[in-house]
């Protein structure tokens, strides 16, 4: 009996011991599971934080790289307020003009930006052939308005009765075309004898024509009731004409020699008014690379900016495409880009404006693919004029960008 009680006690002890062991095991497993879950959650959180931090760092690094690629630092807030300049590198309008190949002449024959003109009066730098033409303000800008009577004007020049167009020249102006057509005659209709044959360029809302040559804007595009930039290039008989970035006329041998310019709006009336502005005639020059090798620099009056700002205008792309092509073909070339202004306005503001404009040109070339370490920029304001600041042509010559060779 004593042995049986002892055996029973032993069995109960083993059972209790086993039960306690199971409880301990369950507690251990429970605690282990809890700790494992805690560690897993911790690791997940740490992993997510690492990913987010990595992405954020990559964004910062990418942003830094983009700033480096833009070339130079943006103008200070103070300088932006002084010059009304947008941040350098803002070149979004330029993309449309990526294949523009018009390069204006480098010696200005005639320039009229209509500065100081009195509204309602006849434009002071022009002469009237017929019709009704006067100064106006359109879209907050000074313009020449063609009102009626088959209006025609010619530039008011000394000795305008003789051929004042050289063998290589360019003509540029901005045109607001309401409908129908606008004509550019290549002789002075008041002072010169008429040239026989098809002696004028017709500009329509969707096309251009010159004699038997005619071409339409692609994709059904039209320029009626909006501003368009018109460019014409003549080189020893070869004639080209553009509406905005599109070349529409390309005549290898013109049948006559241009001797002057007349602007004519045959259908103009008070319900159908034509407007022009920013008119320039220039004499052409040698190719950029030849000029660069000869002089060690390129002087360009064809890079245009919004008035008082460093925002590049689309028509600047002809020059910039030429500079880009030269640098791409000759990787050894390094350039210093120098901005210059005329003497209008405050000297300190002009100095800052010229700096901002040089930076804008640098940034545009970098965005096109030229390495930033091949370019530097500076502005000289009105301090180095190349022409008199008391004539429109002299001021236009002083508003320039120079590209200087860097050894």
pLDDT digits (tens, 9 = 90+) for 149-179: 999 999 999 999 999 999 999 999 999 999 8
DSSP string, 47-112: HHHHHHHHHHHHHHHHHHHHHHHT-SPPPPHHHHHHH-PPPTT--GGGGGGTT------SEEEEEE
Q: How confident is the model at residue 90 (pLDDT cuts 50, 70, 90)?
A: very low
Class of 107-284 in CATH: mainly beta
Other CB atoms within 10 Å distance of the CB of residue 226: 11
pLDDT of residue 129: 98
∠228-124-204 over CA atoms, to 5°? 25
Average pLDDT of the chain to the nearest whole number: 83
pLDDT score for 36 = 42
Alpha helices by DSSP H, listed for 165-256, are none
Tokens read off for 121: 């009066």
> What DSSP line would sit under 318-366, residue for residue?
HHHHHHHHHHHH-TT--EEEEE---SSS-HHHHHHHHHHHHHHHHHHHH
> What are the residue boundaries of the structural domains of the chain, listed by start?
1-68, 70-95+286-407, 107-284
The structure tokens listed for 219 are: 């994709």
Q: In CATH, which of 3.40.50.1100, 3.40.50.800, 3.30.1330.60, 3.20.110.20 is domain 70-95+286-407?
A: 3.30.1330.60
pTM of the model as a whole: 0.75
Statement: residue 371 has pLDDT above 90: yes
Question: What confidence tier does 91 reach under pLDDT thresholds 50, 70, 90?
Answer: very low
How far apart (Å, rounded) are the C-alpha atoms in residues 407 and 333?
Answer: 8
- Containing 144, the helix (H) or strand (E) segment is strand 141-155
pLDDT at 96: 53
Residue-level length of the chain: 407
CA distance 223 to 244: 9
Element (H, E) at 140: none
What is the rounded average pLDDT of the residues 367-396?
A: 96
Contact predicate 201/210, CB 8 Å: yes
Specify the range with the lowest mean pLDDT, choosing from 45-59, 68-82, 86-100.
68-82
Tens of pLDDT, residue by residue over 202-245, are 999 999 999 999 999 999 999 999 999 999 999 999 999 999 99
Q: Which two tokens stand for residue 292?
A: 């660069």
CB contact at 8 A, 372 and 69: yes
Q: Do 190 and 238 touch, CB atoms closer than 8 A?
A: no
């Amino acid at each position: 009996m004593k042995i049986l009680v002892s055996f029973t006690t032993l069995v109960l002890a083993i059972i209790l011991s086993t039960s306690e062991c199971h409880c301990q095991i369950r507690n251990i497993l429970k605690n282990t599971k809890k700790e494992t879950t805690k560690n897993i959650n911790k690791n997940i959180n740490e992993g997510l934080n690492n990913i987010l931090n990595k992405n954020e760092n990559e964004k910062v690094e990418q942003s830094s790289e983009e700033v480096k690629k833009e070339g130079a630092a943006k103008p200070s807030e103070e300088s932006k307020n002084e010059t009304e300049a947008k941040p350098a590198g803002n070149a979004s309008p330029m993309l449309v003009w990526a294949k523009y190949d018009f390069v204006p002449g480098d010696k200005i024959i005639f320039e009229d930006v209509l500065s100081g003109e009195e509204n309602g009066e006849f434009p002071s730098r022009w002469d009237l052939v017929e019709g009704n033409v006067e100064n106006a303000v359109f879209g907050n800008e000074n313009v020449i308005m063609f009102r009626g009577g088959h209006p025609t004007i010619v530039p008011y020049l000394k000795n305008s009765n003789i051929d004042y167009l050289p063998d290589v020249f360019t003509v540029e102006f901005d045109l607001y075309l309401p409908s129908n057509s606008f004509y550019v005659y290549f002789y002075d209709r008041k002072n010169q004898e008429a040239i026989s044959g098809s002696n004028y360029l017709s500009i329509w809302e969707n096309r251009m024509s010159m004699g038997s040559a005619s071409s339409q804007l692609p994709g059904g595009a039209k320029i009626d009731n909006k501003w368009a930039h018109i460019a014409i290039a003549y080189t020893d008989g070869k004639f080209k004409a553009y509406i905005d970035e599109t070349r529409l006329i390309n005549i290898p041998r013109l049948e006559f020699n241009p001797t002057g310019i007349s602007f004519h709006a045959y259908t103009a009336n008070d319900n159908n008014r034509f407007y022009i502005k920013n008119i320039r005639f220039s004499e052409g020059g040698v190719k950029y690379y030849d000029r660069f090798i000869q002089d060690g620099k390129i002087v360009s009056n064809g890079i245009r900016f919004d008035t008082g700002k460093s925002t590049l205008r689309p028509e600047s792309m002809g020059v910039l495409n030429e500079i880009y092509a030269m640098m791409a073909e000759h990787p050894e070339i390094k350039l210093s880009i120098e901005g210059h202004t005329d003497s209008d306005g405050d000297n300190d503001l002009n100095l800052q404006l010229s700096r901002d404009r040089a930076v804008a040109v640098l940034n545009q070339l970098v965005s096109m693919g030229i390495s930033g370490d091949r370019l530097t920029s500076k502005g000289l304001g009105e301090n180095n004029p190349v022409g008199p600041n008391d004539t429109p042509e002299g001021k236009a010559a002083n508003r320039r960008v120079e590209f200087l060779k860097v050894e």
